[in-house]
Amino acid sequence: MIRVAVATFFVESGGVKLAVHERGHRDAPTILLVHGYPDTSATWDAVAEELASRFHVVTYDVRGAGESDRPRRKAAYKLVVLAADIRTVADAVSPHAPVHLVGHDWGSVQCWEAVTDPETQSRFASFTTISGPAIDHAAAWMHARRNLKGLPALLRQGMRSWYLALMQIPGFVPLMWRTWMTKTFAPTIRRVEGLPERDGWPAPTLAKDGARGVLLYRANVLSGMRSPRERRTTVPVQVVVPTGDRYISPKLATSDLAQWTDRLWVRRVNAGHWVQQKSPDGLAHAITDLVRHVEGEPESRALRRHRIKGAEVADRKDFTNQLVVVTGAGSGIGRETALAFGRLGAEVVIAELKADAGEQTAADLRAGGTTAHAYQVDVSDLASMEEFAKRVIADHGVPDIVVNNAGIGIAGRFLDTTAADWQRIVDINLLGVVHGCRLFGAAMAERLEGGYIVNVASAAAFTPSRMLSAYSATKAAVLSLSESIGAEFRDYGIGVSAICPGLVNTPITTSTHYVGVSADEEREAGLKMRKRYERRNYPPSKVADAIVKAVRDRKPVVPVTIEARGARFMSRLSPAFMRRLARVEVK
Ligand code: NAD
C-alpha cells in the first residue's frame, strides 16, 4: 500500500486540544472525516489514503478519543460543543473555502448538528453521512411512528438500539471496557461484519475511548429524543446506507429525510455498520462522486441513479443510469441484448472480437439515443479482458450489469475433436465467462452496491448429445459456474443468471466449426443447420427480452424456447431418456 505523508498537529476548541491529521495538498478541495464511537481518526486511515491522491484530507480525534483531550463533564459532549469542534478544525485546515464533511456513526450525528446550524452551514460544501442520523431527525421519525402503522418500524429499530439503555447506566459501560470488552471488541466486530484485519484499527486507546465516549450518548440521546428541533440544511447530503447495519435501520437512516434537505442522494451499500473498514475504496469512491459534483463536475451516472431530490429527475426508464456490458454484442443474441438494454435507458458497453461488428451495434444504439461504447476484445485472452475491464471501470465506472454472451460452436464426433479445438472452445465459452465474472464481479463487490451478472449458457448444458460434446461440456460448466458463484456473490448483493436458449436463429449456425469433415462438407453442414434454425425461426430479440426479464426478476436459471424448457424438464424427470436422446446423430 502506498503510504501518504501525514502531518499531525493540535488545534484548541473551547479549551480542549484536538489531534488533527492532514494528508494531500492544501490547494485541493478539503474533505473532513469525522469518526464515531468507539473509534478514533484511525478508522479512516485507509479511506483517507485513497482520497489523498486527489483531495486535501483531514481527520481528527473527536474530544474524548485517541490523542485528543478527554473532558470529564457530560456537558462537554453536548452536540453544540461537538459541532463547534468541527467548525474549529474546518477553520484551521481550510480557512477560506468550505469543507466537504463525511461522518460515520456519532461522527455523522455531530456533522448533522453542524450542517443544520443556519449560522454556519455555509462552511460546508457537502455532507456524506454514514450510519448516524441527526438526533432531531431520528426523534421526529420516531414521534411520527407512534401509531399502529408505524409500530413494526419502531420495533425493528428498537431491537437495534438495545445498547442505548445500557449507555445510560452510570459507570456500567466504562466498567465493561475496563474488564472484557477491550479484548473482545475487534475480533467480535470483525467476525460479525466480515471485516479484514487492518493496521491501526482499533486504536490502542480503545479502552479509554470506549469508557469516555459513552458521555456522547449520556449528554445527547435522552434530551434530544424528548423534544426534537426542526433541523434543515441547504448543504447537499449523500446518505450511505449500509443495508446490513445492526444498529441503524435503513428506514431510520432514509425515511422522511427529504423534508430536511434541499439536495439528497441515497446510496445503499452491501455492508454492515463499519463500511470504512469493509471497503475503504468503495466508500472513497462514493465520497469522491459527491465532492467532484459539488466542485463543478457533472453528476456521475452513479449519483444520478441515487438522486432523491434536487435537480429535475428525468423520466426514468427501468435501466436509466445503469451501465451494461455485453460481450459478443456484434451479432445475434448479444447484439439484441445490447439494443434491448439501450432502449430501456441503459448506457451500453460492447466487447466484441470483430471490431466492425461491435462498432455497428454501438452506432445503432447511438442512433436510438443511447450512450454506447465499443471495444475490440477477445474474451478468451486474459490480458485483453483485464485491459478491457480496467478501461471500462476507469472511463465509465463499475458496470451494474454484465452479460457474458460471447461464444462459439463446435460440432461433430468427440473422437474427431482435437486438443486445439477443445482449448479454443474452453477458452472462449468457459474461460471468457470466467474472466468476465471475475474481473467485473470483483469490482462490483468492492463498490458494495451490488450488481448483476448474466451468463449465456445453452439448453445444451442439460441436453447431452453425441454431436456436441465439447459445446455441451462448456455450456454445462457455465451453468454450474453460474449457480456456484450465485451462492457466493449473494453476499455482495450481486445476482447471477444463467440463460439457456434452445435453437435461436443467429449467424452462429454458419460460424460453428464442424470437426472431422472437409471444408466443403463443413460449409454444407453449416448451411443445413442454418436452414433448420431458420425454419425454427426463434429470433434473438426474444432471448434478449428473456435476459432483461431475468435481471428484473433475479431469476437464477432461465431456459428460453419451448425446446429448452422441455429439455430442462426431461433432464430432471428422466435423465435416462436424455441419454437415449443423446445417441441420435443429427446430420
Ligand atoms: P453469434 O455468432 O451470432 O454471436 C456471437 C458473437 O460473439 C459474435 O459477434 C462473435 O464475433 C463474438 N465472439 C466470438 N468469439 C469471441 C471472442 N473470443 N471475444 C469476443 N467476442 C467473440 O452467436 P449467438 O447465437 O448470438 O450466440 C451468443 C451466445 O449464445 C453464445 O454463447 C452461444 O453459445 C449462445 N447460444 C446460442 C444459441 C443459438 O441457437 N444461437 C443457443 C444457445 C446458446
Model confidence at 315, pLDDT cuts 50, 70, 90, reads low
- For residue 313, the model assigns a pLDDT of 55
Q: What value does the mean pLDDT of the chain take? A: 93
How far apart CA 411 and CA 413 sit, in angstroms, is 7
Centre of ligand 1 from the C-alpha of residue 406, in Å = 5
- For residue 316, the model assigns a pLDDT of 59
7-306 maps to CATH 3.40.50.1820: yes
- For residue 474, the model assigns a pLDDT of 98
Q: Mutation test of ligand 1: which of 325, 326, 327, 333 has the most ligand atoms closer than 8 Å to its C-beta?
A: 333
Centre of ligand 1 from the C-alpha of residue 329, in Å = 8
Q: Mutation test of ligand 1: which of 410, 506, 513 has the most ligand atoms closer than 8 Å to its C-beta?
A: 506
For the chain, report the end-to-end CA distance as a whole number of angstroms: 59
Model confidence at 377, pLDDT cuts 50, 70, 90, reads very high
Asked if residue 557 has pLDDT above 70, the reply is: yes
What residue's CA is closest to ligand 1, atom 39?
Answer: 504
- For residue 164, the model assigns a pLDDT of 73
Q: How many C-beta atoms surround the C-beta of residue 149 within 10 A?
A: 7
What residue's CA is closest to ligand 1, atom 31?
Answer: 407
Nearest to 334 by CA among 428, 194, 211: 428
Q: Mutation test of ligand 1: which of 508, 511, 537, 561 has the most ligand atoms closer than 8 Å to its C-beta?
A: 508
Spatial contact of 89 and 57, defined as CB atoms under 8 Å apart: no
How do the domains of the chain map onto residue ranges?
A: 7-306, 323-582
- The ligand 1 atom nearest the CA atom of 504: 40
- Cell numbers linked to 440: 467485473
Condensed to tens digits (0 to 9), the pLDDT of residues 353-362 reads 999 999 999 9
Asked if residue 302 has pLDDT above 70, the reply is: yes
What is the third-level CATH fold of 323-582?
Rossmann fold (3.40.50)
What residue's CA is closest to ligand 1, atom 34?
Answer: 407
Centre of ligand 1 from the C-alpha of residue 327, in Å = 9
434452445: which residue's cell? 502
Centre of ligand 1 from the C-alpha of residue 404, in Å = 10
- The ligand 1 atom nearest the CA atom of 428: 18
Catalytic residues: 471
SS3 267: strand
Q: Ligand 1: which residues within 6 Å by Cβ?
A: 327-328, 330-334, 352-354, 357, 377-380, 405-408, 428, 432, 456, 458, 501, 503-504, 506-508, 511, 540
More confident residue, 166 or 211: 211
Condensed to tens digits (0 to 9), the pLDDT of residues 337-349 reads 999 999 999 999 9
- Cell numbers linked to 517: 469433415
Condensed to tens digits (0 to 9), the pLDDT of residues 55-100 reads 999 999 999 999 999 999 999 999 999 999 999 999 999 999 999 9
Centre of ligand 1 from the C-alpha of residue 266, in Å = 38
What residue's CA is closest to ligand 1, atom 23?
Answer: 508
How far apart CA 251 and CA 265 sit, in angstroms, is 15
Question: What number is the average pLDDT over the span 507-520?
Answer: 94
- For residue 3, the model assigns a pLDDT of 64
Q: Are strands 451-456 and 347-352 parallel, antiparallel or unpaired?
A: unpaired
Q: Which residues contact 214 (CB under 8 A, 6 or more apart)?
A: 37, 167, 173, 174
Region of 134 on the Ramachandran plot (φ > 0 left; ψ -120 to 50 alpha; else beta): beta
- The ligand 1 atom nearest the CA atom of 358: 9
Q: What is the DSSP string of 155-166?
A: HHHHHH-HHHHH
What residue's CA is closest to ligand 1, atom 6?
Answer: 328
Sign of CA pseudo-dihedral 495, 501, 507, 512: positive
How far apart CA 98 and CA 415 sit, in angstroms, is 73
Q: Mutation test of ligand 1: which of 388, 408, 468 has the most ligand atoms closer than 8 Å to its C-beta?
A: 408
- The ligand 1 atom nearest the CA atom of 334: 26
* Domains 7-306 and 323-582 fall in the same CATH topology: yes
